[in-house]
Chain A
Amino acid sequence: MTHFGVVAIVIGLMLFIAHASSDTFASLRQAGAELSPAVRSTIFLAVLVGFASKAGAVPLHAWLPRAHPEAPSQVSALMSAAMVNLGVYGIVRVGFDLLGGGPRWWWLLVLVVGAVSAVYGILQAAMTSDLKRLLGYSTTENLGLVLIGVGAAGVFASAGAHVLAGLALTAALLHVINHAAFKTLLFLSAGSVLHATGLRDLDGLGGLRARMPVTTGLFAVGALAASALPLGNAFVSEWLLLQSLVHGLPVSGVATAITMPAAVAVVALTAGLAVATFVKAFGIGFLARPRSSAAERATESPVSMRVGMGLAALACVALAVVPAMVMPGLARAAGAADSMLGEPAVRGAVTLRLAGFAGSLSPLLVTAALLVGVAAVVAGLRLATVRRTRHGRLTHRARPTRRDARLWDCGAGPLTARMEYTATSFAEPLQRVFDDVLEPEQDVDVTHLQESRYLVDSIEYRRRVPDRIERRLYQPLLAFARAWGQAGRQLATGSVHRYLGYGFYAVAGLLVVLAVTR
């Protein structure tokens, strides 16, 4: 698939270079301004197809969730943190810089591709129980969000709203950075889990909190970021993205009036599903009790792995608390993409303020207030308990404030790990809600005892949520390619006479064509 993407990029750029005097950025930029609209659009579309497949956008995402589970975790981290970002870089560079913006429909197309990728990616992530596959699909989702930002920036720029375009592009680029940070962390922790248990399947994990506390804590940092909640870094970039979309409504045209609310809804749905997905990944994977003996025997991974994860976590926390530190860089990047967007879109160190719009957020203060609040509540509760015993109201028995108790099992025997909710059961309600989109496959096999139909020997239940796009788009494509291969084999029999004959016919045909056209 990526080869297909490379071919598309090469075709697009060749076409571009053919119209320019040389292949330097400067001459391309110059040529870009003089191209006819049809050629420009062709170039853009070819490049978009190519870079979108690099970025893992739907429908060219199929390689992502397949490659990630198989690749070693460091490589997955690198793929998610660097390679997919290249796709975004390519689109921004070619679209804004070299081709100098373009008609609105380009960017609406980018926006739609981003929206579809975001929702589709997170839906698949919410369904899967393979930890690394989940993270792979989440990459598609996050890149989708970035493309929404890029597309919105393009739409705004083409309408002349440069401040807003700068804001949207800043949001997109910030999300690229944030995503790189937290996805690295998540893949490294998934690698640490894999190292310790040999498992990627969430249905078999659980109970790692007690066995691998460091990995658990760090994964929690990453999961918090990935679900775009306050205290996580992605919250800031999604907040900026929402701001740019909200302020984009009055920008002109019915197209934006329809797109912006839809885009906000998509971002919101994506955020909601991402929360559910990462609650599943963290809650089922790390909390509660182990669901397999492999998870039960897990031990914390070596220091080298923990250091790697720690660094990535540090980056996440820094980005979450003082996102202002990367803002100048982002403004410069946006300016490099389009000189009109060079104005910093976000100001302020502690409290981020939008330039040109009323809107502010202070991640640092929110984080601090929340932490102080939690500490205050814990302390307050302790105080309340101390006073309780001192007043001696509970005179008839001296009682410890906290007592261990068995889990409430409704009075029946102890709860086994098999009675816990699994990742699959956790996702079941969502799967039922999105039944029409996901088209899950399930079958139930009931084996009866020989003596009677009424006695059941065993029940087998299977459920799979296939990647529908993959199935609908790629399988026909592959079948087509295979059919061509078969046909080709008929032609290539290995007979030298035949090959010479082909050569003769080809030359003869060529001559005929030349004779007719000249």
Chain B
Amino acid sequence: MTGVTGALGAVLQVAVIAVGSPYLVGAMRQVRARLEGRAGPDVAQPWRDLRKLLRKESLTPHGTSEVFRLTPAVLVASTVLVAAVAPFLTTASPLDPVADLFAVVALLTLGTVALALAGIDTGTAFGGMGASREMTITALVEPTLLVAIFALSVPVGSTNLGAIVNSTLHDPARVVSPVSLLAAVALAVAIIAETGRLPVDNPSTHLELTMVHEAMVLEYAGPDLALVEWASAMRLTVFLGLLANLFAPWGIATGSGLAGLVLAVIVFAVKVGLLGLLLAVGEVFLAKLRLFRVPELLAGSFLLALLAVAASFFLA
């Protein structure tokens, strides 16, 4: 029975993230608009955008190869895979042993790499520029991510996501320990950098010279663009979901039983929504950092992660 609900939970996770992530982006835009005194589009607007993009024609820019054409699919597939294996709604997913936290990070990096290659593949100056910047940021984010994961896994003795979530459920006091708090801050900064939010990258910029993520996707149109935007919304949801469930896993379904699953969906939506809200509000107060100031920010977060590991050893 657990196996069945576990599998059901895994499917549900993918469905919730696939359907919900554009709404998350819409809600974040709505919050931002409100704070700027605007009315803003409603939360369903990203879905409307995606639907329209699917009805448009695709373009193949001259000189691009399969790399350019396959990248949107790779991006979506890697994100969906992460959505399936990580514990967002249930810890009983049968896929849990397939991949641990390291593998999840690596899978998400794979998507970034595909996008960077697509940016280079266009052969435009902006594509190359975006790819170069994105890879620089990725290379610097990686140490923070992995060391923060290290800090989280020390008390548990495993990097398996299910194990980490379960042990936090059984020992709630750990969440307010310095280890966990330091790791949470470090991870949050790393996630902001990975998902291209302010102050690392401005998701709504129109200035090519300040772009990072946008610069790589400048050549995509129609359905391809729909996939890229959908994937980036899902990546945001996945990252926020990971952050939420690693530090506050309550509400996640642990056993069999459909009621728990339904509750988990609601709690998950609330948690990720809250984090998104926080991010959106924070972004109103921030300006984009100069690209060469970003490493300082990341070095700071890396230091926090390292402190977290040290704390996990010396305070244990």
- Taking a contact as CB atoms under 8 Å apart, the answer to whether B61 and A408 are in contact is yes
Tell me the residues in window 101-121 of chain B with beta carbons closer than 8 Å to chain A beta carbons.
102-103, 106-107, 109-110, 113, 116-117, 120-121
Binds B, one of A19-27, A65-73, A132-140, A283-291: A283-291
Q: Which of A269, A279, A376 contacts B113 (CB 8 A)?
A: A279
Residues of chain B lying within 8 A (CB to CB) of residue A283: 116-117, 120-121, 131
Binds A, one of B65-73, B243-251, B273-281: B65-73
- Taking a contact as CB atoms under 8 Å apart, the answer to whether A210 and B58 are in contact is no
What residue of chain A has the Cβ atom nearest to residue B146's Cβ? A268
- Contact A249/B309 with A402-B59, A415-B125 known, Cβ cut-off 8 Å: yes
Query: Is B136 in the interface zone, CB < 8 Å from A?
Result: yes
- Taking a contact as CB atoms under 8 Å apart, the answer to whether B147 and A265 are in contact is yes
Residues of chain B lying within 8 A (CB to CB) of residue A373: 73, 76-78, 80-81
A289 CA to B77 CA in the complex, in Å?
Answer: 28
Interface flags for A228-248 (1: CB within 8 Å of B; 0: not) read 111100010001001101110
User: Nearest Cβ in chain B — how far from A18, in angstroms?
Assistant: 43
What residue of chain B has the Cβ atom nearest to residue A282's Cβ? B117
A157 CA to B230 CA in the complex, in Å?
Answer: 49
Binds B, one of A48-56, A420-428, A439-447, A482-490: A420-428
Query: Is B20 in the interface zone, CB < 8 Å from A?
Result: no
- Taking a contact as CB atoms under 8 Å apart, the answer to whether B292 and A432 are in contact is yes
Q: How many residues of B contact A (CB 8 A)?
A: 81
Query: Is A349 in the interface zone, CB < 8 Å from B?
Result: no
Residues of chain B lying within 8 A (CB to CB) of residue A269: 139-140, 142-143
SS of B interface (majority): helix
Tell me the residues in window 121-174 of chain B with beta carbons closer than 8 Å to chain A beta carbons.
121-125, 127-129, 131-133, 135-136, 138-143, 145-147, 150, 153-154, 157-160, 163
Query: Is A405 in the interface zone, CB < 8 Å from B?
Result: yes
Query: Is B60 in the interface zone, CB < 8 Å from A?
Result: yes
A302 CA to B113 CA in the complex, in Å?
Answer: 30
- Taking a contact as CB atoms under 8 Å apart, the answer to whether B110 and A229 are in contact is yes
- Taking a contact as CB atoms under 8 Å apart, the answer to whether B306 and A265 are in contact is yes
- Contact A284/B146 with A272-B141, A276-B139 known, Cβ cut-off 8 Å: no
Residues of chain B lying within 8 A (CB to CB) of residue A282: 117
Residues of chain B lying within 8 A (CB to CB) of residue A415: 123-125
- Taking a contact as CB atoms under 8 Å apart, the answer to whether B159 and A275 are in contact is no
**Residue from B102, B139, B141, B295 whose CB has the most chain A CB atoms within 10 Å:** B139
- Taking a contact as CB atoms under 8 Å apart, the answer to whether B78 and A407 are in contact is no
Residues of chain A lying within 8 A (CB to CB) of residue B73: 373-374, 377-378, 381
- Taking a contact as CB atoms under 8 Å apart, the answer to whether B99 and A361 are in contact is yes
- Taking a contact as CB atoms under 8 Å apart, the answer to whether B62 and A287 are in contact is no
- Taking a contact as CB atoms under 8 Å apart, the answer to whether B62 and A288 are in contact is no
- Taking a contact as CB atoms under 8 Å apart, the answer to whether A209 and B65 are in contact is yes
- Taking a contact as CB atoms under 8 Å apart, the answer to whether B97 and A242 are in contact is no
Query: Is A74 in the interface zone, CB < 8 Å from B?
Result: no
- Taking a contact as CB atoms under 8 Å apart, the answer to whether A362 and B99 are in contact is yes
- Taking a contact as CB atoms under 8 Å apart, the answer to whether A430 and B61 are in contact is no
Residues of chain B lying within 8 A (CB to CB) of residue A433: 136, 140, 292, 295
- Taking a contact as CB atoms under 8 Å apart, the answer to whether B223 and A271 are in contact is no
- Taking a contact as CB atoms under 8 Å apart, the answer to whether A275 and B135 are in contact is yes
Residues of chain B lying within 8 A (CB to CB) of residue A276: 135-136, 138-139
Q: How many residues of A contact B (CB 8 A)?
A: 87
- Taking a contact as CB atoms under 8 Å apart, the answer to whether A289 and B123 are in contact is yes
Residues of chain A lying within 8 A (CB to CB) of residue B65: 209-210, 287
Tell me the residues in window 382-400 of chain A with beta carbons closer than 8 Å to chain B beta carbons.
384-385, 388, 393-394, 399-400
User: Nearest Cβ in chain A — how far from B148, in angstroms?
Assistant: 10
What residue of chain A has the Cβ atom nearest to residue B219's Cβ? A408
User: Nearest Cβ in chain A — how far from B125, in angstroms?
Assistant: 5
A433 CA to B121 CA in the complex, in Å?
Answer: 25
Tell me the residues in window 291-311 of chain B with beta carbons closer than 8 Å to chain A beta carbons.
291-292, 295, 302, 306, 309-310
Residues of chain A lying within 8 A (CB to CB) of residue B206: none
Residues of chain B lying within 8 A (CB to CB) of residue A369: 81, 84, 98
Residues of chain A lying within 8 A (CB to CB) of residue B72: 377
Q: Which of B95, B125, B136, B223 contacts A421 (CB 8 A)?
A: B125
Tell me the residues in window 411-469 of chain A with beta carbons closer than 8 Å to chain B beta carbons.
415, 417, 419-421, 425-430, 432-433
User: Nearest Cβ in chain A — how far from B48, in angstroms?
Assistant: 14
- Contact A288/B123 with A229-B109, A359-B158 known, Cβ cut-off 8 Å: yes
- Taking a contact as CB atoms under 8 Å apart, the answer to whether B128 and A405 are in contact is no
- Contact A279/B120 with A268-B143, A272-B140, A385-B223 known, Cβ cut-off 8 Å: yes
- Taking a contact as CB atoms under 8 Å apart, the answer to whether A381 and B158 are in contact is no
Query: Is A401 in the interface zone, CB < 8 Å from B?
Result: yes
A376 CA to B305 CA in the complex, in Å?
Answer: 38
- Contact A242/B102 with A261-B150, A284-B120, A393-B55 known, Cβ cut-off 8 Å: yes
- Taking a contact as CB atoms under 8 Å apart, the answer to whether A407 and B54 are in contact is no
What residue of chain B has the Cβ atom nearest to residue A372's Cβ? B77
User: Nearest Cβ in chain B — how far from A368, in angstroms?
Assistant: 10
Residues of chain A lying within 8 A (CB to CB) of residue B124: 407-409, 415, 419-420
User: Nearest Cβ in chain A — how far from B129, in angstroms?
Assistant: 6
- Contact A351/B62 with A264-B150, A269-B139 known, Cβ cut-off 8 Å: no
Q: Which of B98, B117, B157, B291 contacts A279 (CB 8 A)?
A: B117
A53 CA to B95 CA in the complex, in Å?
Answer: 44
A267 CA to B154 CA in the complex, in Å?
Answer: 17
- Taking a contact as CB atoms under 8 Å apart, the answer to whether B132 and A361 are in contact is no
**Residue from B65, B136, B218 whose CB has the most chain A CB atoms within 10 Å:** B136
Query: Is A294 in the interface zone, CB < 8 Å from B?
Result: no
Q: Which of B57, B84, B110, B312 contacts A400 (CB 8 A)?
A: B57
- Taking a contact as CB atoms under 8 Å apart, the answer to whether B309 and A230 are in contact is no
- Contact A288/B63 with A279-B131, A361-B99 known, Cβ cut-off 8 Å: yes
Query: Is A207 in the interface zone, CB < 8 Å from B?
Result: yes
Residues of chain A lying within 8 A (CB to CB) of residue B158: 357-359
Query: Given known contacts A284-B120, A400-B57, A407-B122, what 20 new A-B pairs fall within 8 Å (CB)?
Result: A126-B139, A207-B63, A239-B103, A246-B159, A250-B154, A250-B313, A264-B147, A275-B113, A283-B131, A287-B121, A359-B100, A369-B81, A373-B73, A374-B73, A388-B55, A405-B59, A407-B123, A420-B128, A426-B135, A433-B292
Q: Which 9 A-B pairs have the closest CB atoms?
A: A421-B128, A373-B77, A272-B142, A283-B120, A272-B139, A288-B123, A358-B158, A268-B146, A276-B135
CB-defined A-B contacts under 8 Å, sample of 23: A227-B113, A229-B106, A239-B106, A249-B154, A261-B306, A265-B302, A275-B109, A359-B100, A359-B158, A362-B98, A369-B84, A373-B81, A377-B77, A377-B227, A388-B55, A404-B62, A405-B60, A406-B62, A407-B61, A415-B123, A425-B128, A429-B133, A430-B139
